[in-house]
Amino acid sequence: MTTTTTRSLLDLVPVIPVVVIDRVEDAVPLARALVDGGLPVIELTLRTPVAIEAIERIAAEVPEILVGAGTIVAPQQAMLAAAAGAQFLVSPGSTPSLLGAMTDTGLPHLPGVATVSEVLALLEAGYTEMKFFPAEAAGGAKFLASIHSPVQAARFCPTGGISISNAADYLALPNVGCVGGSWITPAAAMGAQEWTRIRTLAAQAATLGEHPGSAPG
């Protein structure tokens, strides 16, 4: 998200559900389950043929959720997602053309970083909020803790390898606003359309912001 955007994606919920949808008919009930569980934000990844249509349906039928498009890896995807009704964008990395395309949509966006040099490049471009990906593989919570002092202007949404067992470790850090997690929408639950289970997992994740540094019992 650029410094000119007034609403911060990092301060809405402790966990942004990162979701892969294979069946477009699952989009609306899934979004409603997340809202009912206390997580009114969804990052729907553009990894399946139905992703754009799923964004359209959620935007049209579940206005109480903030729907975003993730895995933006090409400039044209930013435009397609915005046209479908996405309200924010997330990319796993950043290039000048990708940043330009996301900026051109006028939507809040979180470009991805994995190194200190990439963080500095985005700070120079006017960004203070970023996705840290792949979080666990790129150094995890220890990495973010170690760069906070020299790079205090940057805040992060770590994604990649985050689970209920380590999310609180990230959320306890001063430079982490939220985390992205796919554990809230496990493939088995999605396949079986177990919306009650997903609502329960969302409710559990929503409590992580209440007690930083410890997972719920």
Catalytic residues: 43, 131
Partners of 2 in beta bridges:
127
Q: Are 19 and 43 in contact (CB under 8 A)?
A: yes
**Chain center to CA of 49:** 20
Burial label, 63 (beta-carbon count in 10 A; 0-12, 13-18, 19+): exposed
Distance CA 203, CA 126 (A): 34
**Chain center to CA of 194:** 22
**C-alpha torsion 206→207→213→215, nearest 10:** -100
